[in-house]
Structure 1
């Protein structure tokens, strides 16, 4: 290492963000003489981020050298093949957002263009019939993707649900015992900036101890202790676009099936999540305080629990958006300290993961070359905006007429980045891809089809196949999906065989804190 190399990193805050950051940094930097320290207060309650995930979480497991089934055993995890959306288009409707593709493309024409052609001709077979992940999930079956799929029907992925508190505990133990991360318990009383450049020099704990570092990672949650408070980086608020600003969460016992998917049910002033874990069900009502009171929201959620209530309701207030600069001077914020987006598509952990990966891709020395921070911040802003647009489509595309919050969402003026996407699909079924899209074309297609935002025409190139040829091809696809689905294993049996929870952890587990999925 050069004399100017980073030799010490201080992570401020534990929880999911802090310990995910510690594990990945310690793994990637293990051949360098860099001391990583994490300081967290035992007196400050953490927000349990990310009980539901997206498939990228398994990339994280591989990156830090752990097996997904070991994580699931330690965290009471279950399989997630996607998200079921109930009542979003209108009451009584439902659709599924899978982690997979639809059908098989032909002649370089996307499958959905052929599906549109048949639909316009009168075939009302839903798009979901051509997705293996959806068909398996709706039958409570687990089918894992082959390593080398024979065709596009086998291209899908899976994620997991887990207990966020147990996940942080699992990562904490590994970081401290296997990766050499130093752990300090203490409450930060002050943040000190030094020199003419105004960088953070140290933090002081309530007992008087001082912790110095070259690089500071702010994982202090919504408080954004370093980036927001000490460095005074402003917050770009998106509440005018994404209406929900509060959540109430309550775990309960199982009363329904152990489904291999998350469920999101639209309610009058927001939506309810259901996340099935091995030992309990996570429930929450994410809502707009302008359209329902806290007491009403809590009563609504409690009335909809499928089993026995396991803890008192936890309340959370939030603002969607992000810090205008997530890397400022010698401080990088990760997780809620950087920003927060509607938990509708389980992106909280993805943003933690991508933030740490991005830091490693732009890792500085003690000069903190400004161009590194500039590019980091440019990409981060794009990533947040792309996710924001995808989430906004859920709200804007609703057909829940006569309900003030939902009526207001339909009347929103969309950001041009989203408006252009909607025009492209509604006009001709086109699914453009932009830089730093977190959600790929099949995800957008799921939402357009589920919300009935469909073009009146198909791509003329889809006419390369006749109606008879398409009929035969589509029938073969459905038959192949049926055969593959028949090989699926009931979710509860799959869990029992591969990753049943550890009984010692099960006995010691406490009710989870507020969880942002």
Structure 2
């Protein structure tokens, strides 16, 4: 609900930041702003314990490791508090064909030459019968398969986390409060805007209290109370590319050791996730209501679960797409308020993080249109890149067993995605813009995994004779084998590095000391 109120003409310097909503988005923003700019800002976060968060995004990608390092967050404390396990990639099961499986790992495969990527030498070796599967030359892929992990010198292995989303939010809350963030309990009843500028002036809570600010962050999830309801910024619907619009989620007790990868299991009209934590498992089914009704989805979901339910499954409806502008006037939308691309590649938390980092880099002394435009250009480019990568998984299927997969295979995809696929199919080359989230190896792993085999390779690979090429490929494989043999079992490493208490004994991170520069 919106209410207008007059304020002083012109925009004041940004001194008071108000974050509407907690959860992962709100507390990540609070932690980053307070840790980097807290001495010059007054930061308030308003949330209500009566309003639940979506809380299904429990898998991450390696950029979160960097985010934590920048903020000085102890990895061991975080993983202990959030029941964290290691994620080396995603196991895609039944996506290309019903019984086919491949892993999209976080690692680098093989060794590039300055003239051409490793895939060209691998393609040449495959032609000559000298190469093993593409995954054989990637440490992270092999370690995932063998369920091994350890930190290596010089960041020698790429990884991300599985985590309890609610535990992560609690951890970040304690961290942010240690740097001066003030949390306010309450529900937002009205949003007051300035009738002259159109900016948000304050939030009015149900108890009648009012919270004024210079810059507002909308972390209210799909409701988008500020950016959508108050400022009426429109939403661009992508459901013609991303058919899934519904989900069930549930937590179950763990019945086996956690594997260091997420499972994405294709079904009749969508897919299911399995995210292993230390003492429980996050489960969900994402489906299209056009091809499967709610009763069918719940039956398919519950019949596949392992372990005992921690709580009854809860249902979600969503619309894939993005806000036309994520920063409008003096309001920035983060997380689900700004965009939603289904959780297939665990990009939701990454996009929150990127939104925060872009905001920090162009943080305004005074809100100015130049900053707003630059921010929106960056965010738009990133979310379109993620959209294309996710759409590719559905479109590049060879399944013909259900109407859903037929529709995915036959749909008209974005021109930007079609160009990438055709370039790889014809030449083995990958179009990549520096700074994009998914690097060349990610595109290669998924396209090969989905059955796209290039028609030719770079001529540089033909300059190696069979003996030299065999030695080149063999040396890479041997190096992976040597490192792999040194890695302990994933669960054994966790038990030593970051053992989490049982779920009925909650962990609390240490509150940062004043001026702590960890």
Is 1:15 matched up with 2:23? yes
C-alpha distance in 2, partners of 1:31/1:251? Answer: 39
* Aligned counterparts of 2:124 and 2:243: Cα–Cα separation in 1: 36
Structure 1, residues 421-454: CA drift from partner, whole Å, max 9, x if none? 0111001011111265210101001101101101
- In the other structure, the counterpart of 1:230 is 230
Pairwise CA distance, 1:106: 2.9
Q: CA deviation at 1:507?
A: 2.1
SS of residue matched to 1:316: strand
Quote the offset at 1:375 in angstroms: 1.1
Q: Is contact 1:143–1:485 with CA below 8 Å preserved after alignment? A: no
Q: Distance in 1 between matches of 2:434 and 2:408?
A: 26
**Residue 35 of structure 2 is aligned to residue 27 of structure 1:** yes
Please name the residue that 2:166 is paired with.
165
**SS of residue paired to 2:153:** coil
- Cα distance in 2, alignment partners of residues 38 and 47 from structure 1: 18
What SS does the corresponding residue of 2:505 show, helix, strand or coil? helix
Q: Secondary structure at the match of 1:388?
A: helix
What pairs up with 1:51-450 in 2 under 5 angstroms? 51-123=58-130, 125-147=132-154, 154=156, 156-176=157-177, 178-366=178-366, 368-434=367-433, 436-450=435-449
Shift of 1:457: 1.3
1:490 aligned onto 2:498: no
* Offset, 1:62: 1.4
What is the CA distance between 1:183 and its match in structure 2?
Answer: 0.8
- Judged with a 3 Å threshold, the aligned counterparts in structure 2 of structure 1 residues 378 and 12 are, in CA distance, closer, same or farther, namely same
Q: Deviation of residue 122 (structure 1)?
A: 3.6
Displacement, 1:379? 1.0
Distance 1:472 1:42 in 2: 61
Contact 1:136–1:143 under 8 Å retained in 2: no
SS at match of 1:31: helix
- Counterpart residue number, 1:462: 461
CA distance, structure 1, for counterparts of residue 130 and residue 449 of structure 2: 16
Q: Which runs of 4+ in 1 moved over 4 A?
A: none
Q: Is the 8 A contact 1:49 1:349 kept in 2?
A: no
How far did residue 107 of structure 1 move?
4.8
* Secondary structure in 2 matching 1:414: coil
Name the SS for the 1:30 alignment partner.
helix
User: Counterparts of 1:440 and 1:145 in 2: how far apart (Å)?
Assistant: 22
Q: Distance in 1 between matches of 2:54 and 2:74?
A: 25
Provide the C-alpha distance between the structure 2 equivalents of 1:30 and 1:117, rounded to a whole number of angstroms.
Answer: 55
Q: Residue 31 of structure 1: CA displacement?
A: 3.2
How many residue pairs get matched? 497
1:226-246 C-alpha deviation (Å, 9 max, x unpaired): 000000000011011011111
Does the CA-based 8 Å contact 1:144-1:157 persist in structure 2?
no
In structure 2, relative to structure 1, the CA distance for the partners of 1:100 and 1:476 (3 Å cut) is same
Post-superposition CA distance 1:259-308 (Å, at most 9, x none): 01111111111111000001101111111111111111111111111222
User: Can you give the 5+ residue segments of structure 2 that lack an aligned partner in the other structure?
Assistant: 1-10, 508-518
Separation (CA, whole Å) in 1 of partners of 2:324 and 2:310: 39
Q: Partners in 2 of 1:124 and 1:306 — Cα distance? A: 38
Residues 197 and 436 of structure 1, relative CA distance in 2, 3 Å threshold: farther
Query: Structure 1 CA distance, aligned partners of 2:424 and 2:274?
Result: 30
Aligned to 2:386, the other structure's residue is in SS state: helix
Shift of 1:125: 1.8
The CA deviation at 1:4 is: 4.7
> What is the rounded CA distance, in whole Å, between the counterparts of 2:435 and 2:404 in structure 1?
30
**Cα distance, 1:502 vs structure 2:** 3.5
8 Å CA contact retained: 2:32, 2:71: yes
Shift of 1:49: 4.9
Residue 41 of structure 1: how far off its partner (Å): 1.4
Using the alignment, how far apart are the partners of 1:119 and 1:130 within structure 2?
13
- Give the SS at the match of 2:154: coil
Counterpart Cα distance in 1 of 2:153 and 2:243: 40
Quick check: 2:85–2:494 contact (8 Å CA) kept in 1? yes
CA drift at 1:195: 3.8
How far residue 407 of structure 1 moved from its aligned partner, in angstroms, is 0.7
C-alpha displacement at 1:413, in angstroms? 1.2
Confirm or deny: 8 A CA contact 1:382 1:436 kept in the other structure: no
- The TM-score, its normalising length taken from structure 1, stands at 0.94
Structure 1 segments unaligned to the other structure (5+ residues): 149-153, 510-517
